[in-house]
Chains A and B, each alone.
Chain A
Amino acid sequence: MKKLSVGAWITCIAVVLAVAAFIVYSGNIGGEGYYKDAAVSNLPLMVWGAVAALVVAVLISLVKGGKLVEIVTGVLRVGAPALMAWALMNLIAGRVDGLGYIYFSNADVAKEVQTAANMASAQSAIWSMGLLGAAVIIAVIAAFFSLRKKNA
């Protein structure tokens, strides 16, 4: 572990954020409220694919390798945030109509549409998007740093 540089630790934060986003998302579609059962197609595949790519990149970097290792980890670290960004856009596309209903309904119907369950569901959806967005940003920042300390 001593071989890991700041880049690896930032990558780990991105992984944690992405996992947290997925947990919140899972709660969102599993719990009561507006988005119950409203799964977003391929989102698990994309999020877990990105997480796996980042974890693999960190693990590979523990092995002192040559340029091949450097290139493979680099590809994974460039691809993973892009994959997460793709997942984020799909999530937004799948949630924006519902958020519109819940937050921007005519005032006459606000009481009815803004039930506790729907509000909690909407907030949970926003949290999942926020966490995934943060994961994307952190993963991009991480890509500016090496995973392995020099000469470690």
Chain B
Amino acid sequence: MKSQKTVSLFRGLAALMAVLFVLSSLGQGLTENYRNQIDGMLGTSSYVTINDEEAARFKKDYATIEDMAAAAKEIAIREGEEGTVIMKNDNSVLPLSKDHEVVLFGLAAYAPYPYTSGDLKAGNADAVDLVAALENAGLTINETVKNFYMNGILNKHTEMVPNRWTGEPQETVAYDNIYVASPGDMAQYQIVEVPPSLFEEKGAPADWKDSIKADSVAIVVFARGAGEGNTYAPGSAVNYAGEATGKDPLALSDDELAVVDAAKETCAKVLVLINSGNTMVLKDIAKGGDHEVDGIAYIGVINDYQLTGTAKVLLGEVNATGALPDTYVADNAANPSVVNFGGSYYADYEIVKSNGDDPRFPGETIENTKASSFGGATTYNGGHYIVEAEGIYVGYKYFETRYFDSIMNPDYKAASAAGATQGDIWSYGAEVLYPFGHGLSYLDYTQTVKSVNVDLTENGNITAVVEIKNNSDKDGYFLAQLYVQQPYTDYDRENLVEKSAVMFLNSGKAQVKAGGTADVTITVPTKYLASYDYKQAKTYILDAGDYLFTAAAGAHEAANNFLAHLGKTVADGMDAEAKGTVTAWNLASLDNKTFATANGTAITNVADSADLNYWTGTNTVTYLSRQDWEGTYPINYNDVEIKLADSPKKDEWIKELRGQTYTIKTDSPATEAVNKGLRFDAANIQDEQRNDINNEYWDDLVHEITIDEAIGAVIHGGSTSDTLTNVENPIVYQNEGVSGFTSAYNDEATGKTYKFNIHSQTLIGSSFNPDLAYAWGLVEGNSGLWLNRFDLWGTGLTQRRTPYNGRNYEYVSEDPMLTNRIGYAILKGCAEKGIMNGPKHMGFNDQEHNRGGVSAYMTEQKFRETDLRGFQGGLSDANGLAVMIAFNRIGATNAAHHVGMLTKMLRDEWGYKGLISTDMMNNKYYFNAESMVMSGITQVADFAQNDNHINQGENGVDKTWAHISVDTVKNDSALVEKARENLKYQLYTFANSAVLNVRTERVNTWWDNAISTTKTVTLVCACLSCAAWLAFTLISKKKEG
């Protein structure tokens, strides 16, 4: 009996130990893949950073963390000072006087967007909201209204909300009433603004109006939320009561207008602040509107400290120098880019579906339906398209060109019905409320181009000297904006080379003494004067004729300056006389040579297939051309039946929509790695290697990488770079986000925590100040050095093509050149500190709706002169070190597969040598491994770690793409060599970054040790238990026998 119990005991122990051994052994492998996340959860660190600051190539500019934090805070306040835009200022509502009480209305007045910390807002302990900013500035705020808003309507509180994972209740900030922070994906958008009729119900005293002094000034703040994966749907507004109104969610709702009316009723003057990254529709409160207010100011999407700067502007402590980075219109439908917003499906999109015939996924049924922003469906997601038929005419380039043509070129039929939203005939004055570049200055000033020098060489610059004359009796700070008009010739009309009548080039600011003058020198590369001719010359051209330069307070003022220079007056239809002069630069004959090459590469078409007509073989799409506004104004291509089966290139089209941009070859054996003993370290990397990617060291180094690792390290780039076996490169972590590093710095000496994601993309855009952007770039770079983090997705440069994109708050402007110059400055600052700051999301990620598959069709002129031009300054001119590619397709081609954009343009034409990352790889049927390698991607963002192999799946194939294995790629030398080349760029970039400032060494954490010990102990115990069980079994039987 006793021996039987002993047998059972040891058998049980053997089973227990065997199970624990299996769990610990396999668990060790699993934890290796999620080391970063486990470290984050447990507060452990798997790597130690060894930082020899004396020997570091990139050094911090601040001696202490307090100095670092102070510098960051100063930049953020300046963003508020320089980015706040006074759009309307009547009845001297601004500057505010400390003698008059201020009454705050609107939910966002007490909880400006964003009200929670995260990617967009740092959440430092000394963050300043609007109430604090105004009070700190010396204003008195009406307490009665403040109290019922804060305590009755908003009622900020915490709620115990179940944790989504554990179910455990956790404390979360909540409000009784707050605007919707995430509009969702083309969903209904509720505008949660409590109307005054409900104030008393929500806690306002019955006599709240009596508490307001007659000479008070009301400040009403309205916000709109935004977010990743979010897209506003036109006509989707829902009111406070929950009723669909059919109105534009970006227009002010009746509830909001009722708040405005209450403010007008109770206060002497009313100022409305716009707290949004999405261009709102302000017709009702603008001049002539039914609810017109005295003043309107744009405050963008704020962060911790910007409102301190905004308050200084509102009180007139600094001159207002911000300008609108977008055009504000009476109806968003007036934008030609909005005509077919959202996109549609090919009539026969189902024919792309695979019924098991895709050789990469044999036997699998793969649909061609929509996937969510995070993937999760078995689909190519290639059925959805949008036609960007507006061409280069986005924002002011449309409105100002059409205005110009309505006066200068009546034959172009600008004054036709096409595109009119405010009457039967299109009229600039009715359509546009506030133009691009508009911003009122407190101090009267003039800006005049004194001289323009155009260096007509490949790397030459336009240098303009703009004189600012301060006509006021106060010293002040002023904004100068430089615009150009290119000639629009018969050649252009014949070859559909489009020209905006007004093009912003660059801007600058200067301090000027009262009554004095100051010169601002503005430079911009001459290449941006050229236009892309995709039909005839198939390269960049400069037309013969006069190039007109002017300095103006906005695009519309510039248009009037040009018209006046050309002999037009108000009598001809101009809505105002010119305020500035024009300087002309003449080119005698068409130049199709100077900018036809760049970095030794001949520039020619690389994106013919982006044009829908390329696929249909007919003129399915008519792209907008200013020579015929009426005849070419975009129709709604969502209503046009487009059938893949009708295409003369049907098979090619379907192949592309299936993501088969490249097919693996089988007849060209690749060479295996040759280990020459080179390593990626400071000893091997000196200036001659760092300055020349063609140095033989780099080729030798990447040829030490095995075929398995070369392909694996690219297609499993992950959220950290992988350590390659023979290279021994350090681990490099990727970091978010567009407002700066989200990681916190914990000062062990003081116990204080500092967060440096304190920047505002919206306000840097409206600052129109590249110098401020450069200062931010340096601060952002310095913060990376303090955090020992060097790779950052730290800005957004996608063009704001429409007002509805849920990520416009991450971007700069509707204008490519303003984006270009701001991007140039931020990336230059970061690169000088050795920080790889990668802008998001290169390649027309201009709507979040079905971002993971939508095909954006366009001409090559649009391809080159709109969204991509926004990235060109930072990546090419400033030698930026990283970039994240868009999710969507360009034409039918996944942007991450686009050889034309990534290799021919970015690498060859632009001379870019940095990292190229995909966005989140969430759909293996959409993202194709071999196509990404061949396009030049250096790292696929699949968020796993230490998985730089293609043999980790079942039967030694890749764990994501089963058609990839060493056996299937080893006979494609081009593929393997391209992967090694991509890794060469990656390693070369690391060498030119602050990565070599430090070494990282892997150490065992306590949980590593616990797992290893468990594994060893349980293995020993399992063996001993088995042996004991066997022995006792035999003994007991013997005894029984």
Give A contacts to B, CB under 8 Å: 7, 33-34, 36-37, 41-42, 66-67, 70-71, 74, 77-79, 81-82, 85-86, 88-90, 92-93, 96-98, 100-101, 103-113, 115, 118, 136, 139-141, 143-146, 150
Write the B88-126 contact mask toward A (1 if CB under 8 angstroms, else 0).
000000000000000000000000000000110000000
Known: A111-B184, A112-B373, A145-B8. A81 touches B30 (CB 8 A): no
CB-CB nearest in chain B for A83:
B22
Q: What is the minimal beta-carbon distance from B46 to any residue of chain A, in angstroms?
A: 18
B23 at the interface (CB under 8 A from A): yes
Contact of A109 (CB < 8 Å), options: B9, B29, B34, B228: B228
Q: What is the minimal beta-carbon distance from A30 to any residue of chain B, in angstroms?
A: 13
B376 at the interface (CB under 8 A from A): yes
Once the chains are docked, how many angstroms separate the CA of A34 from the CA of B378? Answer: 9
Once the chains are docked, how many angstroms separate the CA of A81 from the CA of B230? Answer: 46
CB-CB nearest in chain B for A144:
B12
Q: What is the minimal beta-carbon distance from B693 to any residue of chain A, in angstroms?
A: 34
B834 at the interface (CB under 8 A from A): no
B1034 at the interface (CB under 8 A from A): yes
B8 touches A146 (CB 8 A): yes
| 10 more CB-based (< 8 A) A-B contacts, given A78-B1026, A96-B30 | A34-B376, A37-B378, A78-B15, A81-B18, A86-B26, A93-B30, A106-B118, A118-B372, A140-B19, A143-B15
Once the chains are docked, how many angstroms separate the CA of A105 from the CA of B876? Answer: 33
Q: What is the minimal beta-carbon distance from A42 to any residue of chain B, in angstroms?
A: 7
Once the chains are docked, how many angstroms separate the CA of A140 from the CA of B378? Answer: 38
CB-CB nearest in chain A for B16:
A140
The 8 A-B pairs with the shortest beta carbon distances in the complex, nearest first, are A144-B12, A108-B227, A143-B15, A89-B26, A109-B229, A82-B18, A67-B1037, A41-B954
Once the chains are docked, how many angstroms separate the CA of A100 from the CA of B187? Answer: 25
Known: A85-B19, A86-B26, A97-B943. A77 touches B954 (CB 8 A): no
Most chain B CB neighbours (cut-off 10 Å) among A74, A81, A93, A96: A74
B11 touches A144 (CB 8 A): yes
Once the chains are docked, how many angstroms separate the CA of A86 from the CA of B372? Answer: 32
Q: What is the minimal beta-carbon distance from B427 to any residue of chain A, in angstroms?
A: 39
Write the B556-588 contact mask toward A (1 if CB under 8 angstroms, else 0).
000000000000000000000000000000000
Once the chains are docked, how many angstroms separate the CA of A111 from the CA of B374? Answer: 11
Q: Which residues of A have CB within 8 Å of B943?
A: 97
B682 at the interface (CB under 8 A from A): no
Interface size on B, residues (CB 8 A): 52
Q: What is the minimal beta-carbon distance from A11 to any residue of chain B, in angstroms?
A: 11
Write the B10-39 contact mask toward A (1 if CB under 8 angstroms, else 0).
011011101101110011011001100100
Q: What is the minimal beta-carbon distance from B433 to any residue of chain A, in angstroms?
A: 29
Q: Which residues of B have CB within 8 Å of A106?
A: 118-119, 227-228
B18 touches A118 (CB 8 A): no
Q: What is the minimal beta-carbon distance from B192 to any residue of chain A, in angstroms?
A: 16
Contact of B15 (CB < 8 Å), options: A90, A108, A109, A139: A139
CB-CB nearest in chain B for A35:
B376
B4 at the interface (CB under 8 A from A): yes
Once the chains are docked, how many angstroms separate the CA of A79 from the CA of B16? Answer: 10
A74 touches B11 (CB 8 A): yes
Report 16 cross-chain contacts, Cβ distance below 8 Å, ordered by A residue.
A71-B1033, A74-B11, A78-B11, A78-B1029, A88-B23, A93-B29, A93-B30, A100-B37, A101-B374, A106-B118, A107-B227, A108-B182, A109-B230, A109-B373, A145-B8, A146-B8
A74 touches B1033 (CB 8 A): yes
B1020 at the interface (CB under 8 A from A): no
Once the chains are docked, how many angstroms separate the CA of A107 from the CA of B120? Answer: 12
B81 at the interface (CB under 8 A from A): no
Q: Which residues of B have CB within 8 Å of A105?
A: 374
Once the chains are docked, how many angstroms separate the CA of A85 from the CA of B22? Answer: 6
Query: Which residues of B (362-391) have their CB < 8 Å from a CB of A?
Result: 364, 372-374, 376-378
Q: Which residues of B have CB within 8 Å of A111?
A: 182, 184-185, 187
Write the B314-357 contact mask toward A (1 if CB under 8 angstroms, else 0).
00000000000000000000000000000000000000000000
Q: Which residues of A have CB within 8 Å of B22?
A: 82, 85-86, 89
Once the chains are docked, how many angstroms separate the CA of A115 from the CA of B370? Answer: 14
Q: Which residues of A have CB within 8 Å of B187?
A: 111
B164 at the interface (CB under 8 A from A): yes
Known: A136-B19, A146-B8. A112 touches B229 (CB 8 A): yes
Query: Which residues of B (986-1041) have their CB < 8 Å from a CB of A?
Result: 1026, 1029-1030, 1033-1034, 1037
CB-CB nearest in chain A for B226:
A108
Contact of A113 (CB < 8 Å), options: B26, B33, B374, B953: B374
Q: Which residues of A have CB within 8 Å of B19?
A: 81-82, 85, 136, 140
Q: What is the minimal beta-carbon distance from B597 to any residue of chain A, in angstroms?
A: 43
Once the chains are docked, how many angstroms separate the CA of A125 from the CA of B672? Answer: 41
CB-CB nearest in chain A for B29:
A93
Q: Which residues of B have CB within 8 Å of A104?
A: 164-165
Q: Which residues of B have CB within 8 Å of A90?
A: 26
Query: Which residues of B (943-998) have their CB < 8 Å from a CB of A?
Result: 943-944, 953-954
B12 touches A143 (CB 8 A): yes
Once the chains are docked, how many angstroms separate the CA of A144 from the CA of B33? Answer: 35
Contact of A108 (CB < 8 Å), options: B16, B229, B376: B229
Q: Which residues of A have CB within 8 Å of B378?
A: 36-37
Known: A144-B9, A150-B1. A67 touches B1033 (CB 8 A): yes
Q: Which residues of A have CB within 8 Å of B229?
A: 108-109, 112-113
Contact of B18 (CB < 8 Å), options: A33, A71, A78: A78
Q: What is the minimal beta-carbon distance from B495 to any residue of chain A, in angstroms?
A: 43
Q: What is the minimal beta-carbon distance from A29 to any residue of chain B, in angstroms?
A: 11
Query: Which residues of B (907-929) have their CB < 8 Å from a CB of A?
Result: 922
Query: Which residues of B (928-949) have their CB < 8 Å from a CB of A?
Result: 943-944
Q: What is the minimal beta-carbon distance from B14 to any residue of chain A, in angstroms?
A: 5
Q: What is the minimal beta-carbon distance from A139 to any residue of chain B, in angstroms?
A: 7
